[in-house]
Chain A
Amino acid sequence: MEHPVDFNKTYDVVIAGGGNAALCAAIAARRAGASVAIVEKAPRFYRGGNTRHTRNMRCAHDSATETLSGPYTEEEFFDDLLRVTQGNTDENLARMMIHQSKDMLNWIVEQGVRFQPSLGGTLSLGRTNSFFLGGGRAMLSALYRTAEGLGVHMTYEAEVTDLEMDGPRFVAAEVTTPNGKRRLVAKGLVAASGGFEANIDWLKEGWGEIAENFLIRGTPYNRGSLLRTLIGKGMTQIGDPTQCHAVAIDARAPKYDGGIITRLDCVVFGIVVNKHCQRFYDEGEDIWPKRYAIWGRLVAAQPDQIAYIIFDARALKLFMPSLFPPITGTSIEDLAGKLGLDPARLRETVDGFNAAVQPGQFDDTILDGCHTEGLEPAKTNWARRIEQGPFYAYPVRPGITFTYLGVKVDAEARVQLADGGRAENIWAAGEIMAGNVLGRGYAAGIGMTIGSVFGRIAGEGAGKHASR
């Protein structure tokens, strides 16, 4: 049974957003005895922001479970985080989150979420990441069912567009609905409304005009309205607008919401060239799951923000298929013609690459050491001549998953004020504060960990605050 938000009522907690962080906060606040209203911008089908597109979360655990193939200690988790962020993390917050992530594996199951062993094709995550049975939308539906059962009120197609403050205290939210603006009074606010990745104008503030060529992998509803309002009302900003999770996705994907199926896993099996047919990075630097998240940025730095993955018939079946079939050519020149590239230059680049490939035993399952000599940039693994037709290509563009610029929080998920101290009754969870933990880089499933752990903390804190 869904209960709509009653705008004439004063709620204990109002939650902006409708994804994993928002729902964990709503459930935790409700279980702490608070009355809770969820304000979600998307229509019901698209509810949940990027959670719809997720498939797993990364939680520490001391032993193997039914769905996890081995232990993943807090220390190892923290080392992984340090490595991917290159130290750009708040160590105290990060360690607290990692510690709490252990219990999250149980807590989230108690909220109705179900796990399965890692998905086909993602074996490398089988030990560290817990996969949702049915994926992120199934996970989200379970949380919504639980929240509805607990009596959480919710409204869709409604966005928190402004805040009424009394000094450091939140008083009421201005909610923009299809029927106009409404005032929603509450004793506390949890900001869990995601990043601003779908707001191209904001992306341009960091990236300049090239942001026009970015594709957005998730919902068009993550526009960062509340984030902007919070910063405007004196909350501390963290991170800069260029930091985000970005991967190279199929350039033929729609502008928004192409999701996982536009992802391409074949970079390591070929070469990647820009529109001038030049290579620009070592395609075989490391195994793909460890490197996929750098390619969005690499392609963003190329002219017109486009690149082409070129490979031959031997590589075709080594990776997972994706939404669009590759573009096919009988020869390198034929392929170049179909891609709108200069055939002679592409031939020259492929020939140069082929000539530099050293003999070796190709093995796609390990770092096989098959490399090039005397080529700049080198390809250090899986370097195999591109010579067996037909030849294939995928055009790729940067696909933005989510942005890291956010508001600063403390260990209670309480939002910090720019001029010292903290907001009395505003908490933040999920992508809107991910930058506290994730200053740069990415590790699979960590966005969901941030959302769940800080969502639960924020919800419990806001719930307790209201009942004081």
Chain B
Amino acid sequence: MQAVEFRFPDSKARPVNADHEAHLSEAERLMTVCNSCRYCEGLCAVFPAMEMRRAFSAGDLTYLANLCHNCGACNSDCQFAPPHEFDVNVPKVLAEVRNDSYARYVWPGFLAPMFRRNGLMVTLIAALSVAAFVIGFAAWHDPAVMFGTHTGPGAFYKIMPHNTMVAIFGAAFLWSVLAIVMSCVNFWRDIGEPSSTLRDPQALAGGAHDAATLKYLDGGGVGCMAESDKPDDNRRLYHHLTFYGFMLCFAATSVGTLWHYLMGWDAPYPWYDLPVVLGTLGGIGITIGPIGLLMAKFRRDPQLMDESRKGMDVAFIVMLLLTGVTGLALLFLRATPLMGTMLALHLGFVFGFFITMPYGKFMHGIFRGLALVRYAAEKRRAFG
């Protein structure tokens, strides 16, 4: 696909998918149609937010697209959905605009092509990352160390020195945080919300609540519509497992850092110690959750999805799954000669995950959260 130049309010041009403009104009048509019907206003946040507007800029549409959780309820409730000649397909078109938005706001802008064949790119990066750790460890160490049995405090650091680990992962993490923050700045400016909203505790609390509970991933109260008009999909449960699993893993790493620097205790920790308990529970979450999400994705009615971007979704879910699976494997095999290999695999996936965070599906959570914060603020402005 050919790159198209877009002009932004901040006068920076970014190449985005060539279909982006078509997606935006279709989304604009749909929001105008939906605004003259409004039957769906009780289903989620998208339609009440739409009703606060009469005309829709690209920023508005991107905001609405990121508010949409793709539960599918509006499609199965719509009298004008395909095959009707009005061809109103809100979940799919908003998914397209949403998926475009990750490239639209990416930082630095020249990395937008990362989103063109995102599944492939993420897979390549993950493979390279894993390969680098495996080959690096193998080249660095004598086989006796790599395939030796190490136990007790500092065992991992016999394979990779602690400071090297901190330097590599710290740099990757900081870069990703910077890139995500810059993307968020681009997103926030383009949707046209003042920065003061981000200092409004009620808006932040409202958005955080709706994100943390996935309030709008429930088909308006009955569950998601996967196939037709029957709610038969439990994506909210699997998403909770994935999200909270991820947060537990993050907490495990944070506690481990405290243990190391504050308490002077070296990993690996015994199974009952806090970092291991958190990491194990989190690992189970990001193993079961992604499996459920993948199954739901392949059962879903293609009419509801942006099929051209399925690769991006699948790559992200699989990446989380492999991070979880290799983490659990490392836990079970850490006292065996396979520890070195499992450490290489696990660190490889974690590193790959970190550096692709701003350049893949991970961004959906960030923009969704911001959109929900804005919605909380808008709702209060409109209804008190």
Contact = CB atoms under 8 A, between A and B. Distances in A.
Nearest to A320: B36
Interface string B81-111: 1011110000000000000000000000000
B78 interface: yes
B242 interface: no
Nearest to B52: A120
Contacts of A132: 39
A137 B41 contact: no
Interface in A261-313: 261, 263
Interface residues of A, number: 32
B76 interface: yes
Interface in A220-277: 254, 257, 259-261, 263
Contacts of A254: 85
B77 A135 contact: yes
A117 B383 CA distance: 14
B80 interface: yes
A134 interface: yes
Interface in B1-59: 32-33, 35-43, 48, 51, 54
A16 to B, nearest CB: 22
B36 A133 contact: no
B229 interface: yes
B79 to A, nearest CB: 5
Given A119-B41, A136-B39, A254-B85, A261 B33 contact: yes
Given A116-B42, A260-B36, A260-B37, A137 B77 contact: yes
B161 interface: no
B158 to A, nearest CB: 59
B365 interface: no
A323 B39 contact: no
B170 interface: no
B40 A134 contact: yes
A180 interface: no
A391 to B, nearest CB: 19
A317 interface: yes
Nearest to B32: A321
A120 B32 CA distance: 15
A321 B76 CA distance: 23
A121 interface: yes
A53 interface: yes
Interface string B57-82: 00000000000000001101111110
A322 interface: yes
Nearest to A260: B37
Contacts of B220: 114, 133-134, 138
B304 to A, nearest CB: 15
Nearest to B43: A134
A117 B42 CA distance: 8
A45 B85 CA distance: 12
Chain B interface size, as a band, is 20 to 34
Given A114-B221, A136-B39, A141-B229, A321 B54 contact: yes
Nearest to A140: B229
B230 interface: yes
Nearest to B229: A141
B76 A133 contact: no
Contact of A133 (B38, B42, B78): B42
Contacts of A144: 229
Given A134-B220, A137-B78, A322 B36 contact: yes
A117 B48 CA distance: 13
A134 B36 contact: no
A138 B36 contact: no
A52 interface: yes
Interface in B185-236: 220-222, 229-230
Interface string A309-343: 00000000100111100000000000000000000
A260 B38 CA distance: 10
A55 interface: yes
Nearest to A259: B79
A464 interface: no
A399 B245 CA distance: 55
Given A133-B221, A134-B43, A120 B38 contact: yes
Contacts of B54: 317, 321
B77 A134 contact: yes
Given A134-B39, A135-B39, A320-B36, A52 B79 contact: yes
A119 B79 contact: no
Interface string A137-181: 110010011000000000000000000000000000000000000
A261 B36 contact: yes
A121 B48 CA distance: 12
Nearest to A135: B39
B79 A120 contact: no
Contact of A321 (B36, B43, B73, B81): B36
A117 B84 CA distance: 28
Contact of A323 (B33, B74, B83): B33
Contacts of B230: 141, 145
A173 B36 CA distance: 41
Contacts of B74: 134
Contacts of B221: 114, 133
Contacts of A134: 39-40, 42-43, 73-74, 77, 220
Contacts of B35: 320-321
Given A137-B78, A141-B229, A321-B54, A55 B39 contact: yes
Nearest to A265: B36
Contact of A261 (B51, B76, B80, B222): B80
Residue of B39, B229, B230 ringed by the most chain A CB atoms within 10 A: B39
Contacts of A53: 79
Contacts of A320: 35-36, 38
B85 A137 contact: no
A212 B35 CA distance: 30
A410 to B, nearest CB: 33
A116 B40 CA distance: 10
B39 A141 contact: no
Given A132-B39, A137-B76, A259-B37, 9 more contacts: A116-B41, A119-B38, A133-B221, A135-B39, A135-B78, A136-B79, A138-B73, A259-B80, A317-B54
14 contacts: A45-B83, A53-B79, A119-B41, A120-B41, A134-B39, A134-B40, A135-B77, A135-B79, A137-B39, A137-B76, A257-B84, A261-B33, A263-B36, A321-B36
6 closest cross-chain pairs (CB), A and B:
A135-B39, A116-B42, A134-B77, A138-B77, A141-B229, A322-B36
